[in-house]
Amino acid sequence: MKALSHSVDSSIRLYLDSLWLEKGLADNTRQSYQRDLTHFARWLDEQGEDDLNAVTGQQVMAYLAWRHSANYSSRSTARLLSCLRGFYRFQLRENAISENPLAGIENPKLPRSLPKLLTESDVEALLSAPDVDDAVGLRDKAMLELLYACGLRVTELTQLTLPMLNLRQGVVRVLGKGSKERLVPLGEEAAYWLERYITSKRSELLAARPSEAVFPSTRGVAMTRQTFWYRIKHWARVAGIEKPLSPHTLRHAFATHLINHGADLRVVQLLLGHSDLSTTQIYTHVAQARMQSLHKMHHPRG
């Protein structure tokens, strides 16, 4: 694969570095932005344009048309446009360009997708699956309980360190997107399993290796998000759950079950760490769909 020109590569890196400095860009997001910008730059190069700062709105539209013909999803294209908008706003701010080629280009309309939902009985089965007499099983049990009790993102869960837990007060300090901190209550059940795991089995996994990671792997280092999802899929099979699992399955269940039981939407927003209430509102649609389904099933005139 042909390498990008030095000027193009430097422009992309400078933009990503500025995002990291200004917004604390997460590694996963940075890699995603880098892939999108690199793909766009390579497509332009194939069209005979080797300068990102010389791009016109027509070229952007041609790239979007090519993506459509190549069957890219509207969701991935919307993410790409968000990335390009940020990149060219930065170029304007740095006086590298005089006009924004994204001006007037609208995002594709996205279908409103509802999260795949685990029922409360599904969650109970999943949480009961690990063998708590085993060090790995007890660690996984504590992770699942904490994930469901607090609605954490997987990365937030795997990056937890001991100083971020306060079992006496029953709260966890979470480092979310953009390095924003929030305090989330643990609940009695999660606090119980965390304390049991930390006092009895965590040292067994560490095998005398120093680490502040709450959930080390069997190698004694902080678990990766990929490893955790291998573990949760394993316990889903053990529990007999055949529904597809996504990286946010238990986070979705946490939010939906709270709203089903009458929680205020703004409280759920704070617990999830959403900066915009509209992001949280999707869970009201999940709850409404569930109510409609129950009404149709049980009402004599449903």
137 with 234, same domain? Answer: yes
Q: State yes or no: is 298 an active-site residue.
A: no
Q: State yes or no: is 89 an active-site residue.
A: no
The residue from 63, 148, 197, 283 that is catalytic is: 283
Residue carrying structure tokens 């069209």:
47
pLDDT digits (tens, 9 = 90+) for 68-123: 888 888 778 888 888 898 899 999 998 888 888 888 887 766 555 555 678 888 88
Dihedral pair phi/psi, residue 297, rounded to 5°:
-75, -40
157 with 271, same domain? Answer: yes
User: What is residue 247's predicted lDDT score, i.e. its pLDDT?
Assistant: 66
Which residue, 75, 93, 111, sits at the end of a domain?
Answer: 93
Q: What angle do CA 225, 160, 151 make, to 5 degrees?
A: 70
The residue from 177, 182, 233, 290 that is catalytic is: 177
Q: Which of 50, 103, 56, 51 is nearest to 81 (CA)?
A: 103
Q: State yes or no: is 251 an active-site residue.
A: yes
Residue 222 maps to a domain = yes
88 with 133, same domain? Answer: no
127 with 249, same domain? Answer: yes
256 with 134, same domain? Answer: yes
Q: Is the pLDDT confidence value at 183 over 50?
A: yes
- 26 lies in which domain range? 6-93
Task: Report the phi/psi class of residue 262: left, alpha or beta, with left for phi > 0 and alpha for psi in -120 to 50.
Answer: left
Q: State yes or no: is 15 an active-site residue.
A: no
Q: Are 102 and 57 in contact (CB under 8 A)?
A: yes
Exposure string for 120-152, b = 16+ CB within 10 A, e = fewer? eebbebbbebbebeebebbbbbbbbbbbbbbbb
Dihedral pair phi/psi, residue 166, rounded to 5°:
-130, 90
The residue from 231, 251, 252, 257 that is catalytic is: 251
Q: Which of 130-139, 173-182, 201-210 has the lowest mean pLDDT?
A: 173-182
The residue from 141, 153, 201, 257 that is catalytic is: 153
68 with 135, same domain? Answer: no
Q: State yes or no: is 274 an active-site residue.
A: yes
The rounded percent of the chain whose pLDDT value lies above 90 is: 22
Largest CA distance in the chain: 70
Q: Are 259 and 271 in contact (CB under 8 A)?
A: no
Between CA 18 and CA 171 the distance in angstroms is 33
Q: Is 164 helix (H, G, I), strand (E, B) or coil?
A: helix
Q: Which of 71-75, 118-122, 175-179, 224-228 has the lowest mean pLDDT?
A: 175-179
Confidence band, pLDDT 50/70/90 cuts, at residue 298: very low
Number of domains in the chain: 2
More confident residue, 269 or 87: 87
The tokens describing 256, both together, are: 């939906």
Residue 101 maps to a domain = no
More confident residue, 299 or 194: 194
Q: Is the pLDDT confidence value at 153 over 60?
A: yes
Return the DSSP state at 110: P
41 with 146, same domain? Answer: no
130 with 223, same domain? Answer: yes
Q: Which residues contact 2 (CB under 8 A, 6 or more apart)?
A: 42, 45
Q: Is the pLDDT confidence value at 191 over 90?
A: yes
Q: Which of 10-14, 157-161, 233-237, 285-289 has the lowest mean pLDDT?
A: 285-289
DSSP per residue, 50-86: --GGG--HHHHHHHHHHHHHTT--HHHHHHHHHHHHH
Q: State yes or no: is 148 an active-site residue.
A: no
The tokens describing 156, both together, are: 């937030």
85 with 131, same domain? Answer: no
Confidence band, pLDDT 50/70/90 cuts, at residue 302: very low
